[in-house]
């Protein structure tokens, strides 16, 4: 739904550019609108679950402190990837949302799987599972290359 919202909000970006802002600033306006609505619903539901399950106290335990740093890092990386997508999609032309979103997802999957391999997450898996993962990633890379190549055709 994220890319559908972005694709549907191209008028907001054009209006922002018409008022003298950069396409990147227009993209940030779209993210502000989309993420605020999602955050409100998520925060309300999380608050409800914290109260229902009496789990607020778990956030004040000493062993939770290092996890806050990881959560902040995760949020910064995710937010950063969203801003990179928002700044790159307009530079890809009219097909920006169609090419940029799969490219963003593929780069995320490649990064996550390489990090997983380096961290040893795949060491207990069978060769067949690793082969399927490699084949799936190869299909994604070929699809992205094909999309990029097709955008150069006139």
Highest mean pLDDT among 58-62, 92-96, 102-106 belongs to 58-62
> Token pair 């490699």 is at which residue?
134
Q: Nearest Cα to 99, choosing from 48, 35, 146, 65?
A: 146
Does position 97 have pLDDT exceeding 90, yes or no? no
If residue 134 lies in a helix (H) or strand (E), which one and from where to where? Answer: helix 127-150
Question: Rounded distance, CA 109 to CA 136, Å?
Answer: 10
Q: In this predicted structure, what is the pLDDT of residue 129? A: 93
- CA distances in angstroms from 57 to 17, 47, 49, 67, listed in the order given: 47, 13, 13, 15
State the CB neighbour count (10 A cutoff) for residue 83: 14
Instruction: Give the span between the Cα atoms of 91 and 88, in whole angstroms.
Output: 5
Whether residue 86 is predicted with pLDDT greater than 80 in this model: the reply is no
Of all residues in the chain, what percent carry a pLDDT higher than 90? Answer: 36
Report which of residues 50 and 6 the model is more confident about: 50
Among 9-18, 43-52, 94-103, 124-133, which is the least confidently predicted range?
A: 94-103
Average pLDDT over residues 69-75: 93
Burial (Cβ within 10 Å: 0-12, 13-18, ≥19) of residue 147 = middle
Q: Report the predicted TM-score, pTM, of the whole model to 2 decimal places.
A: 0.66
Q: Which of 23-32, 42-51, 96-105, 142-151 has the highest mean pLDDT?
A: 42-51
CA dihedral 81, 13, 8, 101 (to 10 degrees): -30
| pLDDT band, very low/low/confident/very high, at 22 (cuts 50, 70, 90) | confident
């Amino acid at each position: 739904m994220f890319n559908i919202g972005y694709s549907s909000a191209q008028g907001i970006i054009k209006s922002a550019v018409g008022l003298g802002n950069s396409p990147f600033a227009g993209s940030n306006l779209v993210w502000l609108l989309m993420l605020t609505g999602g955050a409100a619903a998520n925060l309300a539901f999380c608050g409800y679950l914290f109260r229902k399950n009496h789990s607020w106290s778990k956030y004040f335990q000493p062993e939770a402190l290092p996890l806050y740093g990881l959560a902040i890092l995760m949020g910064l990386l995710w937010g950063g990837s969203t801003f990179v997508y928002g700044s790159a999609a307009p530079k890809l032309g009219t097909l920006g949302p169609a090419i940029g979103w799969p490219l963003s997802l593929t780069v995320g999957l490649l990064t996550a799987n390489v990090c997983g391999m380096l961290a040893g997450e795949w060491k207990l898996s069978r060769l067949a599972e690793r082969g399927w993962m490699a084949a799936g990633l190869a299909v994604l890379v070929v699809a992205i290359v094909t999309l990029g190549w097709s955008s150069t055709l006139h």
